[in-house]
Amino acid sequence: MNKKVLKIVPLGGLGEVGKNMMVLEYGRNILIVDSGLMFPENNMPGIDHIIPDFSYLNDKFDRVRGIVITHGHEDHTGAIRHVAEQIDAPIYATPLTCGLLESKLRKAKLYDSDKLVQVNAGDSVDIGPFKVEFFHVCHSIPDAVGLGITTPLGLVVHSGDFKLDQTPTDDWPTDFAKIGEFAGRGVLALLSDSTNADQPGWTPSEAIIDGAFDEAFRAADGRVLVATFASLISRVQQVINASYRHGRRVVLVGTSMVVNSKMAIKLGYLQDPNNVLVSLDQALSLPKSKVTLMMTGSQGEPSSILGRLAVGRNRRFDLEDGDTVIVSAHPIPGNEEVVSRTINRLIQRGAKVIYDPLLPVHVSGHANSEEQKQLIRMVKPKFFVPIHGELRMLHAHASLAQQVGVPSNNVAVVENGTILELTSESLTIGDRIPGGYVYIDGTGVGDIGPQVLRERDRLSRDGFVIVNMMIDVETRELLNIPEITSRGFVYVRDSEQLFLQAREKVVSIVKDNPDNKIVSKVEKSLSDFFYKEIRRRPIICVLVNEV
């Protein structure tokens, strides 16, 4: 093995490249960046979430010198228990991220205070042959960092998820000085967040939300309900501030919202200097014009508070006339339909609903294309690798890099599971390794594969039909009238004739085929029959009981 090569390996299937997990490997030393999960797409029914397939590391667990987590979002932290179960290495993260990781590891009975190492933006840590400098970046959760990783071959900068907000809610901008210092030292490669690479201009600052909140709060006569992500602590801060300006008290509802906010208050990332926060009981006893309810459910999740309010199934309180609901989030790709439906239902149940673009009550946490170009100009890397995006974003980002002077030969776009080989002079695309998904369904880790998903897909379209019969083992004659049942196929009460004809087919097949190929013949015949009659192809199970 050539020791003078740094391997960069993004893991996690055809999704956002390197977002959930990234491996840096130099000789017998491995550094892992992030351990997140993905949410299933609409064509993966029943799957709860997805974690990266890190079987590439199976025979090298002892070479992992450390795991660095850039920020506290699920897509960067959510697989930590699966990783920590197998890999016994220290985990480095900033205070808020550590807090979130700790509760995940405790739940999985894997928490070890010696192994979870708290660092601060600005710190520098030696991890095997890598010196990792953590630098602050703005993002839609506090305490997010990018990484300056000094390797034996040169300095590699990893942006984390970032934007270049000049007026963030916590007044803590991205650390431009540190980035400038990196550029002064000379950066071998920049790995940078591509999420919004196809979006023009600059992502608006969090600050514009304050004005939108003021407009919405001013117009509200009754209660204000704000839904956002439980991790979006800065938004909770903005709601506390806006409520104070408009004479309202705030109650946080929903477990994850309460738990995250408590942790953020304890660690100093969320401030309530005017004691605006109240309990739910207090809130419900106040005049409607004096209350803001802050909750989860911005993605229309049926089990969230907002999701339950939309269908009238929340226990402690319900929607009331005059309520104004602010959906302070954008739908995550794939959730557009369910978010629309939730908003329509809230309106149907009497609420006034405000969402972007009606008012700018949310902005993205990721850099748009002008910011991405700005970062590349600031870092001045020799090589550029777009990460954290679907293939189309990576290509858009690669094209931006060329616009700001990175030669096209020095840019590499790869998918998860492709090894990049970096030397001080070259960036080349190496082997492909298993870099797919592992599906998590219930408590099953990886027991669902493509075949089961294909069956579920077919079941979801046309349901199934069971044919159950008894035949005489000697004479091969039917001993009963074949019983046909179905689920998810047709409305049974209206389909007597269809089932009657199907049964006749079965009877005649058994009569004509005294051999033992009955099962496949009945399957095929009924499949063709149902398709011809009603253009559906249910899964057909034929059970032959020999007596």
- Judged by CB under 8 A, the residue of 110, 208, 391, 404 near its own copies is 391
367/389 Cα distance (integer angstroms):
12
Q: What is the DSSP string of 104-150?
A: HHHHTT---TTTEEE--TT-EEEETTEEEEEEE-B-SSTT-EEEEEE
Cβ of residue 190: shortest distance to its own copies, in angstroms? 22
Whether a cis peptide bond, with omega within 30° of 0, leads into 173 is no
If binding is defined by CB under 8 A, does position 287 make contact with its own copies? no
Determine which one of 49, 73, 82, 366 is catalytic: 366
Q: Near its own copies by CB under 8 A, which window of 19-27, 102-110, 164-172, 340-348?
A: 340-348
Selected catalytic residue, list 34, 53, 193, 323: 193
Q: Which is nearer to its own copies, 320 or 457 (CB)?
A: 457
Of 152, 434, 444, 514, which one interacts with its own copies (CB under 8 A)?
A: 444
Residue 321 makes contact with its own copies by CB under 8 A: no
C-beta of 106 vs 392, nearer to its own copies: 392
Residues 503, 509, 510, 515, CA torsion sign? negative
Q: CA separation (Å) from 516 to 468, 471, 519, 540, 543?
A: 15, 11, 8, 17, 12
Among 303, 424, 520, 545, binds its own copies (CB under 8 A): 545
Q: Would you list the DSSP string of 482-498?
A: PEEEEESSS-GGG-HHH
- Please identify, using beta-carbon distances, which residue of 41 and 181 lies nearer to its own copies: 41
Query: CB of residue 323 vs its own copies: minimum separation in angstroms?
Result: 14
Which span sits near its own copies by CB under 8 A: 84-92, 204-212, 222-230, 527-535? 527-535
Q: Tell which residue, 100, 113, 94, 48, has the closest CA to residue 73.
A: 100
Site string for its own copies, 194-233 (x = CB under 8 A): ----xxx---------------------------------
Residues 36-95 that bind its own copies (CB under 8 A): 41-43, 45-46
Which residues inside 475-504 make contact with its own copies, applying CB under 8 A?
480, 483, 485, 487-491, 494-495
82 is catalytic: no
Coil vs helix vs strand at 322: coil
List the structure tokens of 279.
């309990």
* Residue 3 buriedness (CB in 10 A; 0-12 / 13-18 / 19+): exposed
- Which of 165, 390, 509, 510 binds its own copies (CB under 8 A)? It is 390
From 463, 499, 527, 529, residue interacting with its own copies (rule: CB under 8 A) = 463
Show contacts with its own copies in window 108-127 (CB under 8 A).
none
Instruction: Answer yes or no: 49 catalytic.
Output: no
Burial 5-42 (b: 16+ CB within 10 A, else e): bbbbbbbbbebbbbbbbbbbbbbebbbbbbbbbbbbee
- In this structure, the strands spanning 187-193 and 154-158 are parallel
Closest approach of its own copies to the CB of residue 304, in Å: 17
Residue type, position 249, single letter: R
Q: Which residues participate in catalysis according to the annotation?
A: 193, 366
